[in-house]
Amino acid sequence: MVARVAPTLRLLTDAERQASLLATLAQRPAGDAWLFGYGSLIWNPTIHHVERRVAHIRGWRRDFCLSVRAGRGSADYPGLVLGLDTGEECTGVAYRIGEDVLHAELELVWRREMVAGSYIPRWVDVMDGNGVRFGSAIAFTIDIACEQYAGALERQELVERLATATGVLGSSADYLFRTCAGLRECGIVDEELERLAAEVSARQQRDGAI
């Protein structure tokens, strides 16, 4: 689908994805394997897991820093999805994956997240609400060297792109609204994301009033 909609975008081969997965697993710390969700993995995890917990990580922040010309956008109207960019902290959801299905489940995650190599998978410490570490999780951090990196957009452009971009998987606005809803359902309120959702909604309402 991505190759058809964005033919100039270089996609990872199956061999490259498998090599990335194996390299990540080779760096696995001792203990259970967790996956950290901060965007669509919260409201659409599509993985088998044996435990789910609200988790905090440090050194990264949730940000609409990945430009997409397929899925949630198009070549003429690129959309935006979330990535983890460097920052203070992020609260999301951690999924513990059973050892018996770990490789198979992560292969599915890699097919979903590592389509074009825009992310760098890393192991990060995950902590509970008291700041106590309970494990290590894979987190997909943004590769600032990739051509799709869109960090530090002007606020007006950020809101405009989120409000207007649509692709075969839906709109960027829907992705934003679902993420806010998913976070709230977990008892997490991301004030910056909520402000952004309000601005995007207002922008869409102005279009509807014309």
DSSP state of 24: H
Over the stretch 95-153, which tens digit does the pLDDT of each residue have?
999 999 999 999 999 999 998 889 999 999 999 999 999 999 999 999 999 989 999 89
For residue 209, being part of any structural domain is answered with: no
Is position 210 within any domain? no
Give the pLDDT band (50/70/90) at residue 210: very low
Strands 133-142 and 166-167, bridge-based pairing: unpaired
**Is residue 167 classed as helix, strand or coil in its secondary structure?**
strand
pLDDT score recorded for residue 9: 62
* Token output for 92: 């999301």
Nearest Cα residue to 60 out of 35, 26, 92: 92
Tens digits of per-residue pLDDT, 47-92?
999 999 999 999 999 999 999 998 899 989 999 999 999 999 999 9
Residue 191 forms part of a structural domain: yes
For the domain that residue 9 is a member of, what is the CATH number? 3.10.490.10
CA angle 173, 179, 181 (to 5 degrees): 105
Look at residue 148 and tell me if it is in a domain.
yes
Q: Would you put residue 143 in left (φ > 0), alpha (ψ -120 to 50) or beta?
A: beta
Distance of CA 28 to the CA centre of its chain: 21
Q: What percent of the chain has pLDDT over 70?
A: 94
Domain count, the chain: 1
pTM for the full model?
Answer: 0.92
Quote the CA–CA distance of 188 and 185 in Å, as a whole number.
7
Catalytic residues: 113
Provide the domain limits for residue 23.
2-204
Domain-located, residue 18:
yes
Is 25 domain-assigned?
Answer: yes
At 162-183, the pLDDT tens digits run: 999 999 999 999 999 999 999 9
Domain presence at residue 92: yes
Instruction: Provide the residue type at 204 as one letter.
Output: Q
